[in-house]
Amino acid sequence: MSIQVRNLSYIYNEGLTSETVALDNINFDIYDGEVAGIIGHTGSGKSTLLQQLNGLLKPRGGTIIVGGTDITRPGISMRDVRRRVGLVFQYPEYQLFEETVALDVAFGPKNLGLREDEVDERVHDALELVGLDYDEVAGRSPFELSGGQKRRVAIAGVIAMKPQVLILDEPTAGLDPGSHDEIMAMIRKVHESQQNIILFVSHNMEDVAALSDKVMVMDRGKLITVGTPKEVFRQRDRLAAIALDVPPVTEMMFQLKERGIDVDTGALTLREAEESIYDYLRGSKAK
């Protein structure tokens, strides 16, 4: 299972005065089991790209091959596309509508045309996977739950479709630190248990650095860099030019470096940064 995107382009309002190139010749590969983080500020084309990958928008040109099948080919069944690629929108809790949590999570699997017992099993598994107790929440109204719980129910609704590619648009937006950490842990757990490809968009560079195998940087409809977190966040000035940050720890290391302190600006985690500062301090004391 892998994703190959070739020469993908998309234009909004083509022919009108408001015409804008949303995606400009995008090319990338994501391999089996990879987690890819997409960064870029609002309007860079991230959301458009995600909707292309899920078949919600048809590209103007180019191909998207998911697991050997071109999902942009005319006549392809959307059910087939959505079985492969699941998309969780920003603030997904706003799409909940059913009377009970279990019914809401079952909406996706039912639309795939699965048998009832298969649906039930998937609902059960998906709820447990996102860290909710099936027996406790299944019969409750989704509207009674807390914000963090609602979001997990909404994510479970897509996970229950067992997509080989799971896409999440800003999965932690607007959450408090506790719920934020829970959702991050949940994404890791889903990845481990389903071994799927995960693509996620985030403004939180710490999360991007911690979770991604690959970071994709978008700016004004172009994919300007793809690389490991280390490779991408090394380019602090280039990112700053398009109003993107590096993780806070890395930023601190760059500031130290600017003051002539020889520390590792490639540090992405607290542990790495502390190690490098510790080494420096010990070295200078020994002198």
Partner 1 sequence: MSSIIQIRNLIFEYEKEENGEPVRAIDGVTLDIEEGSFVAVIGRNGSGKSTLAKNLNGLFVPTEGTVLVDGWDTRDDEHIWEVRQTAGMVFQNPDNQLVSSIVEDDVAFGPENLGVEPSLIRERVDRALSSVRMGEYRHKAPHQLSGGQKQRVAIAGVIAMRPKCIIFDEPTAMLDPRGRRDIMKIIQQLHEEGITVILITHFMDEAVRADRVIIMDKGSVLLDGTPAEVFSRRERMLEVSLDVPVAVEIAAMLRSRGIDVPEDVITPEDMVEFVCQYR
Partner 2 sequence: MIRDITLGQYYPAQSFVHRLDPRVKITAAVLYIIELFIVNDFPGFAVCAGVLAAVVGISRVPPGFIMRGLKPILIILIFTFCLNIFMIDGRVLYHIGPLRVTDNGLYTAVFMSIRLILLIIGTSLLTLTTTPISLTDGIERLLSPLNKVGVATHEIAMMMSIALRFIPTLMEETDKIIKAQQARGADFESGNIFARAKSLIPILVPLFVSAFRIAQDLAMAMEARCYRGGAGRTRMNGMKMGRADALCLAGMFLFLGVIIGMRIMF
CA dist., res. 211 & res. 227, Å (int): 13
CA dist., res. 126 & res. 129, Å (int): 5
Q: Does 51 bind partner 2 (CB under 8 A)?
A: yes
Is 67:84 a contact under the CB 8 Å cutoff?
yes
Q: Does 87 bind partner 2 (CB under 8 A)?
A: yes
Tokens of 98: 């059913």
Count CA atoms within 13 Å of residue 53 on its CB side. Answer: 34
Q: Give whichever of 140 and 257 is closer to partner 2, judged by the CB atom.
A: 140
Q: Does 255 bind partner 1 (CB under 8 A)?
A: yes
CA dist., res. 23 & res. 7, Å (int): 10
Tokens of 132: 């909710």
Residues 105-144 that bind partner 2 (CB under 8 A): 107-108, 110-112, 143
Residue 128 interacts, among partner 1, partner 2, none and using kind-specific CB cut-offs from 5 to 8 Å, with: none
Residue 224 interacts, among partner 2, partner 1, none and using kind-specific CB cut-offs from 5 to 8 Å, with: none
Sheet containing 35-39, strands listed edge to edge, beginning at the edge strand earlier in sequence: 85-88, 165-169, 197-201, 35-39, 214-219, 222-227
Q: Does 96 bind partner 2 (CB under 8 A)?
A: yes
Which stretch in 157-165, 205-213, 241-249, 266-274 sits in contact with partner 2 by CB under 8 A?
157-165
Q: Give whichever of 31 and 143 is closer to partner 2, judged by the CB atom.
A: 143
Which residues in this chain contact partner 1 in the complex, by CB under 8 A? 41-43, 146-148, 173-179, 181, 203, 243-245, 248-249, 251-252, 255-256, 259-261, 263, 270-271, 273-274, 277-278, 280-281, 284-285
